[in-house]
Structure 1
């Protein structure tokens, strides 16, 4: 049975070289570092709470608030470097090598981490991640923001119950996930850190990451890689994951119908089972 763990009971903070980073931790065993997406109110817990509870039965699970989100330090767009933040987190926690699990922006940053620090990552797992440095797109928008990213941006520009409801709705396929409780939680997290809000709006999605990755970099990734995507993702098109799995040599793809951008939440039980088996077997 999943461990009965709460956000408060798992809350931790560590001071790294450049930042104070907040994270949630539970369990023992091989480390799984979970990196959240870029939406308003995103945190390690809001993106991965049900996954942490389950996977902590077998692994040391660390769900991070990246600098600029959640309870971690604020950071201006030009100084945002989540790959470096992840590296400093591993050093501060004395972790030699970890599996990285990233959703959306967190998936992009996990891919970037695998390219830049191959000796510090054991497994690469992404959900709804973009394919950095791989253009042009055939099915996804060739230029500009997707439908979902436009709605995420409105959630930052005018955070309210209405706009955050639209954010949660675009993230999911099943409207049962669009609860007032979840919307209020995400809205409170957004409004509770006006510094994060101002910094995101100053940079937008154009400065979401400092990493520059090419197709050749992806071909050079050697860690076992598991790529998840929702067939009905309206934020990041599943074409991105097709590109990833076509380039990363030791990779496989799980594409789920009736699933949006939050695959790890919409199909939490299946996701947890597949991730646990993948990391244990490899």
Structure 2
């Protein structure tokens, strides 16, 4: 997937095993993936590694339920939200790796975890990059959004197919033509793990019980790290208009909006994303 050399770890936490891939040297940049079917740290960010690993020690955990990490049970998800579970598991993982202070980047579901981590332990986060994060945003329109509906639909109604994955990707991006059949096939194949499918049904049921993401927007003022918001103007999953509360409540914040761009900024505007992230975080090492 990438020419960059990756190191892989399985880190034992009190919750379960967390899979971590990392590359590069320098200030630590923890990158948290989104919550779509087939998502993982490497699958979501591998194309950005050649640029980012030149400047940072990039650490990519698979969040609980995804990739090579353990699958939370129904009882786990009844007791705590997926974001609360993830924050606990990730801080344990970083402690085990000897990482005390770090830059933090998250997209969508991973953006929710990044917000919650920066709220819970603000002294550990040196710079924060949020790409259309869940939980910190207040939608102007109806919910679930178009993209959220497509995610819920993927594993239901007969289960996953390449056609459904193609529809999912079309909803995530502005111009699906830049993502060919090879991307659809790879993401589809990544989504077929039976334990992940079982988890996804539990995960969607838990969201329904909790009426969506944790309301992290209530405590945005607890974020102390300098924060960069990256958003696609045409995002149909975590819609751009909902960013206003983050601009008002986060003390040290700036926003960059990409026209003709959807939910996957790191893919759709790859080079601009890499430049903005590098420049922003380099000044905050």
- Same fold, TM exceeding 0.5? yes
SS at match of 2:160: coil
1:118-157 equivalences under 5 Å are 118-132=122-136, 135=138, 137=139, 139-141=140-142, 144-157=143-156
CA distance in 1, matches of 2:148, 2:228: 24
What is the Cα deviation at residue 13 of structure 1?
Answer: 2.3
Q: How many residues align?
A: 271
Aligned to 2:79: none
What is the Cα deviation at residue 44 of structure 1?
Answer: 0.6
What is the Cα deviation at residue 235 of structure 1?
Answer: 0.8
- Maintained 8 Å contact 1:221/1:249: yes
1:221-240 equivalences under 5 Å are 221-240=223-242
Aligned match for 2:26, one of 19, 22, 29:
29
Aligned to 2:267: 265
Unaligned 5+ residue runs, structure 1? none
Aligned to 1:199: 199
What is the Cα deviation at residue 117 of structure 1?
Answer: 1.3
CA displacement, residues 171-227 of structure 1 (integer Å, 9 cap, x when unaligned): 111223332211111111111x21121122123044698855342x21121110000
Distance 1:214 1:178, change over 3 A: closer
- Maintained 8 Å contact 1:14/1:21: yes
TM-score between the two structures when normalised by the length of structure 1? 0.90
The alignment's C-alpha RMSD in Å is: 2.0
Aligned match for 1:244, one of 243, 246, 259:
246
What is the Cα deviation at residue 131 of structure 1?
Answer: 4.1
1:69-108 equivalences under 5 Å are 69-79=66-76, 80=82, 81-108=85-112
CA distance in 1, matches of 2:188, 2:74: 22
CA distance in 2, matches of 1:10, 1:177: 29
TM-score between the two structures when normalised by the length of structure 2? 0.89
